[in-house]
Amino acid sequence: MKTAVVTDSTAYIPKELREKWGIYMIPLSVIFDHETYREEIDISAEEFYKEVKQRELPSTSMPPIGEFVALFEKLMKEYDAVISIHLSSGISGTFQGAVSAGDMVDGIKVYPFDSEISAMVQGFYALEAAELAEQGVHAEEILERLKEMKRSIRAYFMVDDLSHLQRGGRLSNAQALIGSLLQVKPLLHFQDKKIVPFEKVRTRKKAMNRVVELLAADANSGEEYRAVIIHANREAEALEWKSELESLFPNVEFLLSYFGPVIGTHLGEGSMGLGWYKK
Ligand code: MYR
């Protein structure tokens, strides 16, 4: 059985890595003043963070269902199945788009997978699936492995300014929480597919230290982990954090990634996250 792996742009897997593993990418878009830009194609993260300073705040949109249908129809010429891995269905309609498109095409079995997360943590699922697909592992077995990964996947992130998440309506229970959260730097995470505060922490440094404690609680078991530091236009700070973490956790492989235009619209510049899973 030949299985294709599809993910969306919010996994922010660099093009070279996608090409190396044969991962297909379907883009979400940012919309500035009625102009639509497909991220990773029409606008890079670097261009976005420049643009956002000069223009009205953008909005975002999921890929049109027709794009999923067109991609799945193209893939059916070469593959028997598709695993389509997407950002959490609690924050975007993208996963549901893949489900609907899968129902519309005949001739290829489509397995949509809700990562219940986003960014490179979602990318971890796509890379794992691609590696197994290349070995000829059956799509259903690949899905079992992804479900197993879900048990150890963790991700925490912090934003500089909560108003982006509030404006985009992606912070759950926002009305009740926002007043008490604006004075602090809440550490955020996903629960039941939605973004919720994990803990209220007063400063960015304290939030980062708390994430390190959470990683230690898992990784101090000595088992092999893979982690990713994700930043919204804060590469120098992220690199510094990466080298600190590498010296603290020799059993963890650390990658560096970024929040691109779509996720950056909802989190705002300066956001930082750390995600990991047991290899
Ligand atoms: C859409 O318009 O469908 C896209 C909506 C994207 C919402 C993004 C909300 C922030 C996600 C943060 C992910 C952090 C992962 C570590």
Do 203 and 146 sit in the same domain of this protein? no
CATH number at residue 271: 3.30.1180.10
Q: Using the predicted structure, report yes or no on whether residue 91 has a pLDDT greater than 70.
A: yes
Q: Using the predicted structure, report yes or no on whether residue 179 has a pLDDT greater than 80.
A: no
Residue 93 lies inside a defined structural domain of this protein: yes
Last residue of a domain, one of 135, 151, 167: 151
Do 131 and 170 sit in the same domain of this protein? no
Q: Which of 9, 91, 114 to mutate to test the pocket of ligand 1 (most atoms within 8 A of CB)?
A: 91
Contact present, 155 and 117 (Cβ < 8 Å): yes
**Ligand 1 center to 91 CA (angstroms):** 6
CATH number at residue 86: 3.40.50.10170
pLDDT (average), residues 73-91: 97
Q: Using the predicted structure, report yes or no on whether residue 38 has a pLDDT greater than 60.
A: yes
168 vs 30 pLDDT, higher one: 30
Nearest of 256, 27, 271, 70 to residue 161 by alpha carbon: 271
Q: How confident is the model at residue 167 (pLDDT cuts 50, 70, 90)?
A: confident
Count how many domains the chain has: 2
Do 69 and 204 sit in the same domain of this protein? no
Do 24 and 145 sit in the same domain of this protein? yes
pLDDT (average), residues 6-35: 97
Residue 85 lies inside a defined structural domain of this protein: yes
pLDDT value of position 163:
84
Do 177 and 190 sit in the same domain of this protein? yes
pLDDT (average), residues 208-215: 96
**Ligand 1 center to 79 CA (angstroms):** 30
Structural domain boundaries, residue 94:
3-28+63-151
Residue with tokens 């919720």: 196
pLDDT (average), residues 1-7: 96
pLDDT (average), residues 182-192: 85
Q: Using the predicted structure, report yes or no on whether residue 222 has a pLDDT greater than 90.
A: no
Least confident among 168-177, 208-217, 233-242: 168-177
Residue 39 lies inside a defined structural domain of this protein: no
Residue 247 lies inside a defined structural domain of this protein: yes
pLDDT value of position 124:
98
Residue with tokens 């809700």: 114
pLDDT (average), residues 134-138: 97
pLDDT value of position 175:
56
Q: How confident is the model at residue 173 (pLDDT cuts 50, 70, 90)?
A: low
Share of the chain above pLDDT 70, in %: 96
Instruction: Compute φ and ψ for 112, nearest 5 degrees.
Output: -75, 140
Share of the chain above pLDDT 90, in %: 85
What are the pLDDT digits (tens) for 39-50?
999 999 999 999
Do 107 and 237 sit in the same domain of this protein? no
Residue 79 lies inside a defined structural domain of this protein: yes
Q: Which of 120, 231, 262 to mutate to test the pocket of ligand 1 (most atoms within 8 A of CB)?
A: 262
Q: Using the predicted structure, report yes or no on whether residue 176 has a pLDDT greater than 60.
A: no
Do 119 and 250 sit in the same domain of this protein? no
pLDDT (average), residues 141-160: 97
E strand or H helix at 63: none
Residue 179 lies inside a defined structural domain of this protein: yes
Do 144 and 159 sit in the same domain of this protein? no
pLDDT value of position 178:
64
Residue 127 lies inside a defined structural domain of this protein: yes
Strand intervals (E) in the chain: 3-8, 23-26, 29-32, 35-38, 59-61, 81-86, 109-114, 154-158, 187-191, 194-199, 225-231, 252-258, 272-278
Do 159 and 176 sit in the same domain of this protein? yes
**Ligand 1, atom 2: closest residue by C-alpha:** 61
- Closest approach atom of ligand 1 to CA 121: 16
Q: How confident is the model at residue 202 (pLDDT cuts 50, 70, 90)?
A: confident
